[in-house]
Amino acid sequence: MPYPILTLPYPFARRLHQLLSPDELENLQTAAGPDISQLKPIAQSLKMDYASFTLSDFNVVTLTISNYNDVVTMASCNPLIVKCKHLYVQCLNADIFKKCNFMTKLYLTAEQLHIDRCTVDMKLLTAIASIVNGVKRFETVNVENDVKLAGIFELFPRITNIFMPHAYKGWLGDLLRQNVTGLMELSVKHTDFDELFSFRSEELYQFVQNQSPEFKFEILLITPKNPIQTVIMDQSDIGNCILPLINPHFDIVEGENCKVKLAFGNDSDLETWRLLQKSM
């Protein structure tokens, strides 16, 4: 039996499409039955492999949705529900993103979020999180200093795989205090030793224990090939500094079947340690 939503007073029924998200509006239109003239425009639902937000030559944010053969591009739209595997956000900042004229009409779920060539600060991530739901995998190649791992998990609480090109003092302690658990993969890449390795051995052990059985954790310290600094840590120095951080909770072992991988050096000459948790 159709839900008697249209027996509500006329002005309220007419305003419902303005008050509801596209996903809520689609459910309401389904529940109201065939006569939904007062609930128009009709919410459109699309399921695609890829979606991307980009900036056009006219400084307008466009949403492109595609499978392998079908492509839909729009700068404005009726209420729209998009479900996709991959969402790409490219060449945008928070102010431009928030000004695009169809955000209030869009409900988007994406399994994987890829951000590229953007000013990735907390303002942009907050704007993205306001319309994008269900993100499980987060990737970006650069972030601003105000972006913290704990903040990303607050905005996207369903993340299980994350690739972070930045660290800061106390980042692992933040994740423990926030009780981040059940991760499948975490990769943290940074250029500052003191910030990247600003944790205790017991913190590393406890964090790994809190994750899924399949968890893979990569900590990557990149040092410059031709440092401008007159003093630079070489790989043996770095290794000697890391050892106290992994003992007494981890052993350095051979093989791939380890949850924790530490790598340090420049991109063309990386030394890699694989760590196995000791029985406590």
Mean predicted confidence (pLDDT) in 243-271: 84
Question: Do 141 and 99 lie in a common domain?
Answer: yes
Question: Do 34 and 105 lie in a common domain?
Answer: no
Q: Summarize pLDDT for 19-54 with one digit per residue, the tens.
A: 565 556 656 655 655 555 555 555 567 778 888 888
Instruction: Give start and end residues of each alpha helix (H) in 111-160.
Output: 122-129, 149-155
Mean predicted confidence (pLDDT) in 239-268: 84
Domain boundary residue, one of 125, 151, 166: 166
How far is 109 from 47, CA to CA, in rounded Å?
10
Question: Do 174 and 272 lie in a common domain?
Answer: yes
Question: Do 78 and 122 lie in a common domain?
Answer: yes
How far is 4 from 14, CA to CA, in rounded Å?
14
Q: Total domain count for the chain?
A: 3
At which residue do the structure tokens 């419902």 appear? 16
Q: pTM score, two decimals?
A: 0.78
> Which class for 249: exposed (0-12), middle (13-18), buried (19 or more C-beta within 10 A)?
buried
Q: Which residue has the higher pLDDT, 103 or 254?
A: 254
Structure tokens at 132: 């994008």
Question: Do 250 and 276 lie in a common domain?
Answer: yes
Listing DSSP states for 159-223 in one string gives --EEEES---TTHHHHHHHTT----SEEEEEES-HHHHT-S-HHHHHHHHHTS-TT-EEEEEEE-
Domain boundary residue, one of 166, 188, 210: 166
Query: What pLDDT sits at residue 228?
Result: 46
Give the distance from CA 145 to its chain's centroid.
16
Listing DSSP states for 19-41 in one string gives HS-HHHHHHHHHHH-S--GGGPS
Pairing, β 260-266 against β 185-190: unpaired
Contact yes or no for 38/13 (Cβ under 8 A): yes
Instruction: Select the highest-mean-pLDDT range: 50-59, 133-142, 215-224.
Output: 133-142
Q: Summarize pLDDT for 73-126 with one digit per residue, the tens.
A: 555 556 677 889 999 999 888 888 777 766 667 778 899 999 999 999 999 999
Q: What percent of the chain has pLDDT over 90?
A: 41
Give the distance from CA 40 to its chain's centroid.
33
Domain with 29, as residue range(s), is 1-42
